[in-house]
Amino acid sequence: MLVGRWPASAPPAYLLIEMIGYIVRRLLLAIPVLIGILFVTFAVARLLPGDPCHAMLQEKATPEVCAEFNRRFGLDQPIPVQFVTYIGEALRADFGDSIQQGRPVTELLAERLPTTLELSISALLFAVIVGIPLGIVSAYWRNSIVDVATMLLANIGVSMPVFWLGLMLAYAFSVLLRGTPLALPPSHRAGPGLQPSPLYVYWNIPVAEGTLGHWILTFLSNLFVFNSLITGRWAELWDVIRHLILPAMALGTIPMALIARMTRSSLLEVLGLDYIRVARAKGLREGAVVLRHAFRNAMLPVATVIGLELGYLMGGAMLTETIFGLNGVGTALLTAITARDYAVIQAFTLVVALIFVLVNLAVDLLYGFLDPRVRLA
């Protein structure tokens, strides 16, 4: 049997070379996508109706004032010049200053991106931990009452709007269950006085404000779960996790339902293959047949759905952030679009799109790991 271009008995070095070549090919294919993202983010910001001067100054936006405003922020330059400047800044990870707030956009990213990233990952973990077992159970007991109940739950999950579910969860766990052990906080990322302090303050790291090191430490510090975990502040960690439960459930319900349905469909297809019947004929336990032999091959389409859902969660967290009072990428983008803050729109959209590309690249690499035949592509 062949694994890629080499026999299964080939030395590990050959298989490593094959995997490295597969990774390099996927990275090269991602370059045109990134170039296209740079162009689209720049063009979409400029295609919005209105301009930053009138959006921010409104009745004070006289021609003279707008001319000075555009000169100050480089908006008086020709569009091609602005695009070249934007590419140069993006390659240096310097996205300029926010027109609305007058602060470096990189600093805003370091503050807002961790909120959305933490929320999206938590929602995806909820979706995977609940969705995959539901799909396995539904496939194993196909056409039974368990299957019907599981798929009914999945269909309800797909049908519920995030804003309605978020409000219902907040009402149920924060109002109806108030004073009970099941009560959960309805908003914000942490309780008063329990927000983790910056890592450079906790570890007394001398770092100058406005430098790349300062922004990286700020980004890591604003990942509250990571911050509390790495510094061993367990009370803060528990508080942060409790604040994450409701928004993660609200945001992760639709992906959970999709993952459950895809797992069921893919596993049913694999369970009907010949090698599964052979494994059962050999007397293997049913659990080993389903989990060890069928589940791995059934994971290929499920991995695709999981990867795509993380990108959608990053881009679609705006409603959840608004409902639960979280200052993340979604709320920052909404404010920036209202103010026509080009620098913030471009940077935040570019970063979310870049994460989407990296997640898809990781899914491609996971394909190569799960099925060696994919590495021939």
Helix-strand-coil percent breakdown of the chain, rounded to 5? Answer: 75, 0, 25
**Mean pLDDT in residue range 330-357:** 84
Phi and psi dihedrals of 3, rounded to 5? -115, 105
**Mean pLDDT in residue range 284-304:** 80
Residue 115, domain member (yes or no): no
Residue 224, domain member (yes or no): no
Choice between 263 and 377, residue whose per-residue pLDDT is larger: 263
Residue 143, domain member (yes or no): yes
Q: Check residue 328 and give its pLDDT.
A: 87
Per residue in 178-222, pLDDT tens? 888 889 988 888 888 777 888 888 888 888 887 778 888 889 989
Give the residue numbers spanning the domain of 293. Answer: 121-195+234-327
d(CA 191, CA 107): 24
Choice between 159 and 240, residue whose per-residue pLDDT is larger: 240
Beta bridge pairs of residue 6: 3
Residue 277, domain member (yes or no): yes
Residue 334, domain member (yes or no): no
Report CA dihedral (121, 122, 127, 128) to the nearest 10 degrees.
70
Counting the structural domains of the chain, the total is 1
d(CA 66, CA 70): 6
Task: Give me the percent of the chain exceeding a pLDDT of 70.
Answer: 93
* Straight-line distance from the first to the last Cα atom of the chain, in angstroms, rounded to the nearest whole number: 18
Q: Check residue 126 and give its pLDDT.
A: 93
Question: Where residue 184 sits, what CATH number does that domain have?
Answer: 1.10.3720.10
pLDDT band at 81 (very low <50, low <70, confident <90, very high): confident
pLDDT band at 372 (very low <50, low <70, confident <90, very high): low
Per residue in 111-150, pLDDT tens? 899 999 999 999 999 999 999 999 988 888 888 898 888 8
Q: Check residue 80 and give its pLDDT.
A: 87
Report the chain's mean pLDDT, rounded to a whole number: 83
Residue 104 has pLDDT above 70, yes or no: yes
**pTM of the predicted structure, to 2 decimals:** 0.83
Residue 174, domain member (yes or no): yes
Q: Check residue 4 and give its pLDDT.
A: 45
Q: Check residue 2 and give its pLDDT.
A: 40
Residue 19, domain member (yes or no): no
Residue 320, domain member (yes or no): yes
DSSP sequence for 54-100: HHHHGGG--HHHHHHHHHHTTTTS-HHHHHHHHHHHHHTT---B-TT
Residue 64 has pLDDT above 50, yes or no: yes
